[in-house]
Amino acid sequence: MSERLYFDNELKTMMALFEKSELNIDLTKVEEACRFAYQILGNKSWESGGPIIYHSMDVAQIVALAIGLGTDPVVAALLHNVFESTADKDELIAEIPLRFGEQVSDLLEGLFKINSIDTVTISVHSENFRRLLLALSGDLRVVLIKIADRLEDMRNLDNLPHSLQQKYATESSYLYAPLAHRMGLYNIKSELEDMSLKYLKPADYAKIAKHLEDTVKEREDFVSVFVKPIEEKLVARGIKFDMKARTKSIYSIWNKMKRQRVSFDEVYDLFAIRIIIDSKPANEKSDCWQVYSIVTEEYQPNPERMRDWISIPKSNGYESLHTTVMGPAGKWVEVQIRTRRMDDVAEKGLAAHWKYKGGKGSDLDYWLAGIRELLENPAGDANEVIEEFKTTVVEDEIFVFTPKGDLRKLPAGATILDFAYDIHSDIGDKCVGGKVNQRKVSIKHKLKNGDQVSIETASNQKPKIDWLDFVVTSKAKSRIKSNLNEAKRLEAENGKEIVKRKFRNWKLDYCDENIRKLIAFFNLKSAQELFYSVSTGAIDALQLKTVLKEEETPRAKEVLGELLPKKVVDNLSFDPGNEFLIIDKGLKDVNYKLAQCCNPIFGDPIFGFITIREGIKIHRISCPNAKNLYERYPYRFIKAKWRETKNYNSFQASVYLEGSDRQGIIGDISYVIAKDVGIQMRSINVDTKNGAFTGTLRVYVNNIEHLEFLINKLKSIKGIQNVLRADF
């Protein structure tokens, strides 16, 4: 058979399927598009060996028969590969709207944007994945066509190299299966997941498939026993229905085994019974509940497994009544009850939903707007976006009410703060808490189905970074990040002005070279981070000067002027050259304190260290903490010295003693301190063991000479072997 004759036969078969369907498809336009595509594509093939034209025809059939879209999306599916197979692309782009209409042209443009992304390098760790998500979050029909395209790709992976199989399977698992779920295309979603598992976990897939094959007869026998009494009661009530058994997908079984850590035999809901009833639109709910009562009269239901999606449908239009009942031999069985209209929506997702709603959109438009807001937020990286996307598309829903009784849909795990942002972004920004069922709760409170929620706000409330730890909706996360970025930008602008002012005072050039030096020195990513750190105090302005302008002997007054308020510096004393801070022996100045880590005494060589909250601390140069402080904060060090005076005051000092224990030694130590040297003792601690003792004295002395005199006196006591000044 010639290639042309083969194509004509395939076209004839496809057109016959379209003609038999209930879809209102313009067969003439579809046939013209298919022949037009064949004229361009001819016998060109994919690297897997399959001709491109037949791939396009298969995609068109999925679009029409599995999803239920109309003429223009079917035509777009037939033409979606023609741009990649012609040198006259611009001419072809101009011809499409004239020949097939603007709608087809717009759909192809959306598909072209998606296909232009480098799908060879795309992965779940690539920024290209983010771009692909963004391209997909536009026209819903483009999304549906792309899902159909991916499904056809997955059905023909066997002839591709292993690396491409892994790539396609990973993308389908992370992106296209969750998208199909959100669109209500549950059959397509299950097939994509199963085929992804087949290539990503081939051993697991094969094992479960074998189990299902080996137990098919057992399941069929069980189903026949289970459904018989239900069928009899439905017939007796005059209810028209169809009943079928649906085996759980391989991926769902694998996922449940993994999540619950159970074996294949322990997965109790391997299949579900679906009851589809004929019902008039006005009677749908009551008819479904009537069937529910028949089922639960025959079999005991599990109240924890009840799912009512006919009273409140899912946001993708899905409606069904689910219950799990105890069947023969003590086996749990899920029963799904729905009308033919509901089943049509469940099988074909959004396309069927639109058909019954007269072409109107659903909450999915709102969801897509939220996804776009998430994707366009510059704060998140690609991996964060992917995880957020996966959570957003597959998360179960809860339904809560406003104080006026309006219904709001939120993902499971949503908090009071998510609800506030769902109402309005400004309300979310100002939210301080709320009430759930008239009970006060915090902004972190997680909502449950049926809660009535009100929000409390405060004018001085602002978004905080820890809010991101407990909100779950993309709208809330995006808005919080946006506000935090704006606050950081304003803070950085303030820091920039501080840096410019300091540079002028220091006679340094404010130039890119100096800013780059500072960014590198502090290991920052941008100038904004530098300015932000200066404004918030994470980096002291004087640190910048230390990096850019080395001074051999920085003056104490100048250093203090950079870090402390002017009125504080004006009250301090300095030597004539302003190089040393003068420390009065009487310690009358409240702007500095003696450091307790080393207890400096009048006469000790000292330095000043400028703290953030406690003013100036005076340390001994031999302080054990001095080296670490200088390595971390050299710009906070200032030279200091004591003011010579004849007025005496007391300084606390610690003395460490070692010696041989003997009766009366403590009395001798106390006598020396009180009588011989006239020193006031604050405390004495002694520990004796095996005839030896160690002790610590805390005393008050006038100066370093006074302390040295005490140490020499203590050394003369019988049994004392060692006396040292202690650093505590």
For residues 654 and 700, the answer to whether their CB atoms sit within 8 Å is no
Mean pLDDT of the region 3-23 = 90
Whether pLDDT at 121 is above 50: no
For residues 162 and 219, the answer to whether their CB atoms sit within 8 Å is no
Whether pLDDT at 376 is above 70: no
pLDDT digits over 395-419, tens only? 567 778 888 877 787 888 899 999 9
Mean pLDDT of the region 201-213 = 93
Which H or E element spans position 408?
strand 407-411
Identify the bridge partners of residue 610 per DSSP, sorted by sequence position. 616
Average pLDDT over all residues of the chain? 82
Most confident of 53-62, 93-102, 543-552, 626-635: 53-62
Whether pLDDT at 379 is above 50: no
Instruction: Calculate what percentage of the chain has a pLDDT beyond 70.
Output: 83
Whether pLDDT at 210 is above 70: yes
Whether pLDDT at 355 is above 70: no
What are the Cα distances from residue 164, in Å, to 170, 424, 645? 10, 44, 86
Q: Which amino acid is at 634?
A: P
Per-residue pLDDT band for 552 (boundaries 50, 70, 90) equals: very low
For residues 560 and 610, the answer to whether their CB atoms sit within 8 Å is yes
Mean pLDDT of the region 103-131 = 65
d(CA 99, CA 383): 42
Residue 5, Cβ neighbours under 10 Å: how many?
9
For residues 312 and 407, the answer to whether their CB atoms sit within 8 Å is yes
Identify the bridge partners of residue 689 per DSSP, sorted by sequence position. 692
pLDDT digits over 475-526, tens only? 888 889 888 888 888 889 999 998 898 888 878 888 888 888 888 888 888 8
- pLDDT, residue 360, reads 47
Q: Give the tokens for residue 233.
A: 């009661």
Lowest mean pLDDT among 78-92, 325-339, 650-664: 78-92
Extended strands (E) in 493-632? 581-583, 592-594, 606-610, 616-620
- pLDDT, residue 382, reads 44
Helix axes 102-115, 127-136, angle to 10 degrees: 170
Per-residue pLDDT band for 393 (boundaries 50, 70, 90) equals: low
What are the Cα distances from residue 222, in Å, to 215, 217, 227, 379? 11, 9, 9, 54
Q: Give the tokens for residue 234.
A: 């439905």
d(CA 27, CA 75): 10
Which H or E element spans position 476?
helix 474-506
Lowest mean pLDDT among 54-63, 75-84, 118-127, 296-305: 118-127
Q: Which amino acid is at 726?
A: A
pLDDT digits over 137-150, tens only? 556 788 889 999 99
DSSP class per residue in 192-252:
HHHHHHHHHSHHHHHHHHHHHHHTHHHHHHHHHHHHHHHHHHHHHTT--EEEEEEEPPHHH
Lowest mean pLDDT among 4-13, 642-651, 702-711: 642-651
- pLDDT, residue 72, reads 92
Extended strands (E) in 248-320? 271-277, 300-301, 307-308
- pLDDT, residue 648, reads 57
| 105: nearest Cα among 33, 11, 179, 14 | 33
pLDDT digits over 559-616, tens only? 676 667 776 776 677 766 667 888 875 555 556 788 888 888 888 888 888 887 777 8
Q: How many residues make up the chain in this entry?
A: 728
- pLDDT, residue 159, reads 84
For residues 416 and 472, the answer to whether their CB atoms sit within 8 Å is no
Per-residue pLDDT band for 133 (boundaries 50, 70, 90) equals: low
Whether pLDDT at 62 is above 70: yes
What are the Cα distances from residue 42, in Å, to 48, 51, 55, 84? 16, 8, 12, 13
Whether pLDDT at 293 is above 90: yes
For residues 224 and 271, the answer to whether their CB atoms sit within 8 Å is no
- pLDDT, residue 152, reads 94
Mean pLDDT of the region 329-354 = 81
The SS3 call for residue 117 is: coil
